[in-house]
Amino acid sequence: MHYAAILGFGTVGSGVAEALMINADTMNRKTDGITLKYIVDVRDFPDSPFAGLLTKDFSVVENDPDVDMVVETIGGVGIAAEFTRRALRAGKSVITSNKELVAKHGCELMALAEEHGANYLFEASVGGGIPMLRTVVYNLGAEKITEFFGILNGTTNYILTQMFRNGMSFSAALARARELGYSEADPTADIDGIDACRKVAILCSLITGRQTPVDTISVEGISGVSVEDVEFAASMGCTIRLLGHAYFGGDGKVRACVAPHLIPSKVLLSGVEDVMNGLHIRSEAAGDVMLYGAGAGKLPTASAIVSDMFCLAGNRRDGAAFSWGPPSEERCGNISDLPFSWYVRVSPADGWEEKQSGLHLFAQKDGKLAYYTDEMTEEALLSRFAGQVILSRFRIIR
Amino acid sequence: MHYAAILGFGTVGSGVAEALMINADTMNRKTDGITLKYIVDVRDFPDSPFAGLLTKDFSVVENDPDVDMVVETIGGVGIAAEFTRRALRAGKSVITSNKELVAKHGCELMALAEEHGANYLFEASVGGGIPMLRTVVYNLGAEKITEFFGILNGTTNYILTQMFRNGMSFSAALARARELGYSEADPTADIDGIDACRKVAILCSLITGRQTPVDTISVEGISGVSVEDVEFAASMGCTIRLLGHAYFGGDGKVRACVAPHLIPSKVLLSGVEDVMNGLHIRSEAAGDVMLYGAGAGKLPTASAIVSDMFCLAGNRRDGAAFSWGPPSEERCGNISDLPFSWYVRVSPADGWEEKQSGLHLFAQKDGKLAYYTDEMTEEALLSRFAGQVILSRFRIIR
């Protein structure tokens, strides 16, 4: 029997307590079983069915030799980092959904875990209930992954879906997302692509075995996507989605970005709507593989945490491990080096010559011109439009 | 270092040799490495770059203590079963794409492997390059899976896609599939749903831990799908696909079928076209998860075999294992017990009363009527249409 403690009894933390109950039969049949022994939170929850497990004192968990799994759902890089380090030093494995902490200090924390015979697992930090991490590390672990692109943030996908489906403006769609509780009180990390960037960093680090620092990933949010872009994209059979997009070159470099992209309808990811997430992975032998599911939400996120606990409880500690080494500057490339087909919306000024090599005008409206281009780098693209005000430019997925 | 032999140098076998070369860097970085030592085939391949590895004598492999992995791509349940048993008895792990053998003798072969300290692995037997099996066994291993439905056969999906996209008849689309090499010389196992049925049996056995005999799965192929069905389905925003579909009830019973289904466009699987495959899994905590990719083809299938070899070479023998126990009659239910919403096409005869409870007429053409129904069992459905000739009846995915 394994004993677990949950740190932080918010949405995800209480979801883990619930998911452990839902999955108890399966867990007991396939593993040594897990008993939830403590929940650590500074708040009181007198009416919770788990009230008897609550404590405000983390050192009770830290000093209980029975506890071998600690679930950290506090969030942020402050107290969460401290408790994680203390738990790992006490030889307890830590399981988390905290993408900020993993993207920033994952390398250090995994090394600390290894040093103390424990694991630091974080399937829930990317893609909610979709097993994205274990798929890239294990299921496709033998593959030369050449590219991935994914919808990794539910809030922005909800907003873009509303803009597409109902012609809503960005701000109206954001207001709607807030009403429905899909958006944080401060939606900046979602809207500006910061949340997705952390997830791209985690995926790239796992794929390459080297930490990919978040500041090596080019990031652009969705506030520049207009209803006009949505209409132009739809007229060429594409949706616009905020994608995390990474290339793994033969030169060993990772080139990644988070940015709005056009996705042709023939690519299945174009149909991923609302708060759902999806990850499309391209590799040399397996070809195209796509994973889809609930990228957020209480139970799906909790289920991913429980999947990590399941690995540990099944005594598959080595088979469950995630790891990567420290960053290597020469491995960090810039996605601007790579050629893409682009969508461009411009408001042409004097002297604009419509016909330039590699540009294809496909629509116009209210004096705005919409182009798609042959494959070219961002620099080559900008030189074509020198002196013009580019209103939007988004990459088009192949 | 591990040493491997490939039995059968056909499409998949030669793909494995190729995929091992493509993935050599990744394998060497993450595992102890694998060297391909023998290829066993009765034929000669003097021009193959692997000609030096070829032998006609399986006992060379059997008696070489260096070889710890044997890849069986012979197919069928004759010589393939014999060589598999001999390899396992010699303590060598066997990796295969042979769904017929796995569905029929998997339980015995996994027990034999265990007895001799080896593994019997078959990720490639279902879903080609898509890691379907490891996902249900490990990534979603803690989950209470309640239902899955999947496009598990590329040939039939190609035919149905052609019927939808180009209005082709079934026989014209089959002829086209043959021209393109998507169909076997004898396409019966594909068309009649037998291939998909074996894959459903393997998935159900892994999910429940009990062998699901193929003859407990209700099977209907696609030869009854007409162009008229395709048109009616499209008019209600659905595609028709051959699905493997299984329910895992609270009573412990598995209820499964292979049959054409209508899939509404809001379900992502409806967009899986041509020879691509997809599996939609519903579970209590994780919610909906879908996997998509190349379900067949030389390199994708080979990549799945290599993913099994990767697990073994990474010394994750326990973390890689598949297993299930012998069948249990009380666990085998009948999908006819369950209520569904149905699509029905009828050519009404005298005395037909159009308006009956639970039936909704949504289209008519050339004297044929098309209905969708409220949720009801097959028996209840048939009683509504007593005395009428039902031309087609297909379940509709929720």
- For the record, the structure tokens of B125 come out as 């037997």
Contact criterion met (CB < 8 Å) for A143 and B303: yes
Contact criterion met (CB < 8 Å) for B320 and A319: yes
The model's pLDDT over A267-298, given as tens digits with 9 standing for 90+, comes to: 999 999 999 999 999 999 999 999 999 998 99
Chain B contacts of A290, Cβ < 8 Å? 290-293
Where are the strands (E) in chain B, listed by range? Answer: 2-7, 34-40, 54-55, 67-72, 93-96, 120-121, 145-151, 218-219, 238-248, 254-264, 276-283, 287-294, 341-347, 359-365, 368-373, 389-396
Contact criterion met (CB < 8 Å) for B142 and A268: no
| φ and ψ at residue A243, rounded to 5 degrees | -115, 145
* B124: nearest Cα among B236, B12, B270, B279: B12
Which residue of A lies nearest to B129 if distances are taken between CA atoms? A286
Average pLDDT for residues A364-392, to the nearest whole number?
Answer: 94
What average pLDDT does the structure give for chain A? Answer: 95
Which residue of A lies nearest to B278 if distances are taken between CA atoms? A290
For the question of residue B298 being annotated catalytic, the response is no
Average pLDDT for residues A231-237, to the nearest whole number?
Answer: 96
B167 residue type, one letter: G
Which member of B25, B142, B293 has the closest CB to residue A307? Answer: B142
pLDDT at B319: 64
The residue among A14, A207, A290, A323 with the most chain B CBs within 10 A of its CB, best to mutate, is: A290
Residue A318: pLDDT band by 50, 70, 90 thresholds? low
Contact criterion met (CB < 8 Å) for B286 and A268: no
Give the strand pairing for B34-40 and B2-7.
parallel
Which residue of A lies nearest to B144 if distances are taken between CA atoms? A23
Contact criterion met (CB < 8 Å) for A142 and B320: no
* B125: nearest Cα among B205, B179, B55, B184: B205
pLDDT at A317: 66
Chain B contacts of A286, Cβ < 8 Å? 129-130, 293-294, 299-300, 303-304, 307
Contact criterion met (CB < 8 Å) for A299 and B314: no
The residue among B139, B241, B276, B280 with the most chain A CBs within 10 A of its CB, best to mutate, is: B139
- For the record, the structure tokens of B213 come out as 């005999």
Chain B contacts of A291, Cβ < 8 Å? 289-292
Alpha carbons B394 and B262: distance in angstroms, whole number: 7
User: How far B314 CA lies from chain A's nearest CA (Å)?
Assistant: 9
Alpha carbons A282 and A268: distance in angstroms, whole number: 13
Alpha carbons B136 and B202: distance in angstroms, whole number: 11
User: How far A149 CA lies from chain B's nearest CA (Å)?
Assistant: 14
Inform me whether the pLDDT recorded for A145 exceeds 90.
yes
- For the record, the structure tokens of A133 come out as 């991490």
The residue among B28, B95, B268, B311 with the most chain A CBs within 10 A of its CB, best to mutate, is: B268
pLDDT at A77: 96
User: Of all residues in chain A, what percent carry a pLDDT higher than 70?
Assistant: 99
Alpha carbons B67 and B93: distance in angstroms, whole number: 9
Chain B contacts of A304, Cβ < 8 Å? 286
Contact criterion met (CB < 8 Å) for B143 and A303: yes
pLDDT at A351: 77
User: How far B167 CA lies from chain A's nearest CA (Å)?
Assistant: 19
User: How far B44 CA lies from chain A's nearest CA (Å)?
Assistant: 26
| φ and ψ at residue A313, rounded to 5 degrees | -70, -25
Evaluate whether B19 touches B2 at the Cβ level (below 8 Å).
Answer: no
pLDDT at B244: 98
Which member of B135, B142, B309 has the closest CB to residue A139? Answer: B135
Contact criterion met (CB < 8 Å) for A284 and B23: yes
ipTM of the complex: 0.96
Alpha carbons B80 and B72: distance in angstroms, whole number: 7
Chain A contacts of B149, Cβ < 8 Å? none
Residue A248: pLDDT band by 50, 70, 90 thresholds? very high
Contact criterion met (CB < 8 Å) for B22 and A315: no
pLDDT at A285: 97
User: How far A277 CA lies from chain B's nearest CA (Å)?
Assistant: 10
Measured CA angle at B335 (ends B333, B339), to 5 deg: 125
Inform me whether the pLDDT recorded for A99 exceeds 70.
yes
Contact criterion met (CB < 8 Å) for B138 and A134: yes
Measured CA angle at A46 (ends A40, A49), to 5 deg: 80
Average pLDDT for residues A204-226, to the nearest whole number?
Answer: 96
Chain A contacts of B319, Cβ < 8 Å? 311, 316, 318-320
Which residue of B lies nearest to A21 if distances are taken between CA atoms? B285
The model's pLDDT over A73-87, given as tens digits with 9 standing for 90+, comes to: 999 999 999 999 999
Contact criterion met (CB < 8 Å) for A286 and B294: yes
The total number of residues written for chain B in this structure: 398
pLDDT tens-digit profile, chain B (398 residues): 999 999 999 999 999 999 999 999 999 999 999 999 999 999 999 999 999 999 999 999 999 999 999 999 999 999 999 999 999 999 999 999 999 999 999 999 999 999 999 999 999 999 999 999 999 999 999 999 999 999 999 999 999 999 999 999 999 999 999 998 888 778 999 999 999 999 999 999 999 999 999 999 999 999 999 999 999 999 999 999 999 999 999 899 999 999 999 999 999 999 999 999 999 999 999 999 999 999 989 999 999 999 999 999 987 766 678 999 999 988 999 999 999 999 999 998 877 877 788 999 999 999 999 999 999 999 999 999 988 999 999 999 99
How many CB pairs (< 8 A) connect A and B? Answer: 182
pLDDT at B181: 85
Which member of B29, B134, B288 has the closest CB to residue A294? Answer: B288
| Residue-by-residue DSSP string for B301-360 | HHHHHHHHHHHHHTT-HHHH----B---GGGB--GGGS-BEEEEEEE--TT--S--TTEE
Average pLDDT for residues A126-151, to the nearest whole number?
Answer: 96
Chain A contacts of B310, Cβ < 8 Å? 141-142
**Active-site residue (options: B37, B92, B104, B199):** B199
User: How far A380 CA lies from chain B's nearest CA (Å)?
Assistant: 33
User: How far B174 CA lies from chain A's nearest CA (Å)?
Assistant: 23
Residue B55 CB partners (closer than 8 Å, separation 6+): B38, B39, B40, B61
A300 residue type, one letter: P
Catalytic residue numbers of A read 199
Alpha carbons B159 and B183: distance in angstroms, whole number: 10
Residue A246 CB partners (closer than 8 Å, separation 6+): A147, A148, A149, A200, A203, A204, A207, A254, A255, A256, A257
User: How far B266 CA lies from chain A's nearest CA (Å)?
Assistant: 8
pLDDT at A121: 97
Hunting for tokens 């890849």 — which residue is that? B71
Which bin fits A128, alpha (ψ -120 to 50), beta or left (φ > 0)? Answer: left
pLDDT at A319: 63
Evaluate whether B274 touches B293 at the Cβ level (below 8 Å).
Answer: no
* A343: nearest Cα among A375, A312, A367, A310: A375
Give the strand pairing for A238-248 and A145-151.
antiparallel
**Hey, which residues does B293 pair with through a beta bridge?**
A289, B277
- For the record, the structure tokens of A163 come out as 């803009």
For the ranges A99-103, A197-201, A319-323, B238-242, which has the lowest average pLDDT?
A: A319-323
Which residue of A lies nearest to B297 if distances are taken between CA atoms? A286
Evaluate whether B395 touches B268 at the Cβ level (below 8 Å).
Answer: no
Chain B contacts of A27, Cβ < 8 Å? 142
